[in-house]
Structure 1
Amino acid sequence: MKKIGILTFISVITFQLCFAQKEQDSQKEEFTPYELMSDYYDNNFQPFKKKNIYLGLAFSLEDKKLENTDYLVQQVIEGEKLDYNIVAKVGYYTGNYGMAGINFNYYQTHFEGSVFRDPDTLQSNSITRGFAVTPHFRSSVPLTKNDRLSFFTDIGVSFGMASNLKREIKYNDEIKKQYGTDYMLGVGLSPGITFFAMENFAFEIQLNVLGYNLKVSESSINDGPSSREIRQNVDFNINILSLELGLAYYIGSNK
């Protein structure tokens, strides 16, 4: 009798386990990958919560071929312009939907080609390398209930420096070299959109709208006496060409 009771008990447990497994498998099959991903953001997803950490990276690259093109005060007969910009970002949420952060920016612009500057044709080669540090504060406003899509505004102060070298050759033997250093200070307002694509990873689109810039430039030609230029400007425009695309990761967004 004991053996029969034990076998019956084992049979009941086995049947229940099999039934539970089948029920669990059937439930898994009911959810699509999109539904499973959406479910992740509905379960206590809080990317902009106090004490969360933000890490971001933005990159832009422009490679332009020029031929018989008017460019500034000269005409480019044939040339190539290559620019890139890298921005590393880090931030800490001091309160819900409010973040204090800092951006580290490194950029380069380079041009090489033949230009016509009345009345001469020159071989021109110029390169500028610079960096900037931008402390800023970000305020986010959710556009969806689960915070997956949100609008943000950055207000920051930027400090930077750049060095540039320009060389022009005329008549194959007349060389003009110009060295320069730029010191920059700026205050800007930049709105943007954040969209979480996969778990804690988000895509960001940001646009520079309003800014004040102070630039002090020092330069010398062929090791001669140096000159200085101080320039101030205020910008208020919406230029789609200034869009900055980036990827961000939020640590602590799902607790």
Structure 2
Amino acid sequence: MKKLLLSLIAVSALAFTTQAQTEKGKFMLGGNVEFKSIKENGASKSNTNFNIVPSVGYFISDNFAIGTGVGFGFAKTQAGTTALPNAATKTQEFVVAPFARYYKGINESFKFFGQLSVPMAFGNNKVTADGDNYAKISKYNNVGVALSPGFAFFPSKKFGIEFSVQGISYNNNSIKDNNGTKIGDSDKSFSIGANFFAPKIGVQFYL
């Protein structure tokens, strides 16, 4: 009887550990940071990309959270020629990405999840001929929808390491000049499928 009681206590403890990270009323804090610098052959300077989008979510029920990410993106591309060696283009954008996520437990340390997000980016494009004086030439809005599967590993009940892949996504990008006139047609794209050899890796804190 004593062994049975201890076994029941152990099972209950494991169930609590599994539930503790994603139970109703908990918060999840995370996000992503990306930096990339590539120097093309013959270019005087490197192309750079930087993105930071911290996120916060709240579990409105066990294993189901809603939240949003808010951040900033920056990209600079060298476009120099022999005549204009310092010519470059620069993109700056404000990013908002509301999401909903559902977890399905495997055991006390692993859970699958599916995330539906609506990433939106609002930015502008600038150019320079001398590398110093930038002039805005256009602005753009990018709105998308993405459904991404993944799984989380929990070394502790307040910390998770995530691996996710892109599943299904749709993007609509619209560009306008400084007068608000639309430039060309909207760039719409749809993709389905996941590259399991190129997962996204991230961390989340559960409070």
> What secondary structure, in the 3-state scheme, does the structure 2 residue paired with 1:208 have?
coil
Q: Which residue of 1 aligns with 2:128?
A: 167
Work out whether 1:140 is the aligned partner of 2:103: yes
> Conserved in 2, the CA contact under 8 Å of 1:59 and 1:246?
no
The one-letter code sitting in structure 2 at the alignment partner of 1:235 is S
| Mapped partners of 1:63, 1:185: distance in 2 | 26
Q: Which residue of 2 aligns with 1:89?
A: 55
| Mapped partners of 1:90, 1:201: distance in 2 | 14
> Conserved in 2, the CA contact under 8 Å of 1:211 and 1:236?
yes
Q: Which residue of 2 aligns with 1:196?
A: 154
Q: How big is each residue's C-alpha offset from its partner over 1:101-124, in whole Å with a ceiling of 9 and x where there is no partner?
A: 1111311111235347xxx77542
Using structure 1 for the length normalisation, give the TM-score. 0.64
The one-letter code sitting in structure 2 at the alignment partner of 1:250 is Y
Q: How big is each residue's C-alpha offset from its partner over 1:154-204, in whole Å with a ceiling of 9 and x where there is no partner?
A: 1122232011202246xxxxx995611111211111222212234411222
Structure 2 spans left out of the alignment, 5+ residues: 1-12
Using structure 2 for the length normalisation, give the TM-score. 0.77
Structure having the larger proportion of residues in helix: 1
Work out whether 1:100 is the aligned partner of 2:71: no
Q: 1:61 to 1:239 in 2, by over 3 A?
A: farther
* Structure exhibiting the larger radius of gyration computed from Cα positions: 1
Q: Which residue of 1 aligns with 2:183?
A: 228
- Equivalent runs, 1:1-255 vs 2, <5 Å: 42=14, 44-45=16-17, 46=19, 47-68=21-42, 77-112=43-78, 114-115=80-81, 123-143=86-106, 145-146=107-108, 148-168=109-129, 179-219=137-177, 228-229=183-184, 230-239=186-195, 243-251=199-207
> What secondary structure, in the 3-state scheme, does the structure 1 residue paired with 2:23 have?
coil
The one-letter code sitting in structure 1 at the alignment partner of 2:168 is L
> Conserved in 2, the CA contact under 8 Å of 1:78 and 1:115?
no
Q: 1:168 to 1:162 in 2, by over 3 A?
A: same
How many residue pairs match? The answer is 190
Structure 1 spans left out of the alignment, 5+ residues: 1-40, 69-76, 170-174
> Conserved in 2, the CA contact under 8 Å of 1:193 and 1:206?
yes
> Conserved in 2, the CA contact under 8 Å of 1:79 and 1:114?
no
> Conserved in 1, the CA contact under 8 Å of 2:144 and 2:170?
yes
| Mapped partners of 2:197, 2:80: distance in 1 | 26
| Mapped partners of 2:153, 2:138: distance in 1 | 41
Q: 1:225 to 1:43 in 2, by over 3 A?
A: closer
Q: 1:96 to 1:85 in 2, by over 3 A?
A: same
> Conserved in 1, the CA contact under 8 Å of 2:44 and 2:85?
no
Q: Aligned-residue CA RMSD in angstroms?
A: 2.9
Q: Which residue of 2 aligns with 1:5?
A: none
| Mapped partners of 1:65, 1:250: distance in 2 | 39
For residue 43 of structure 1, report the CA deviation from its aligned partner: 7.3
The one-letter code sitting in structure 1 at the alignment partner of 2:154 is F
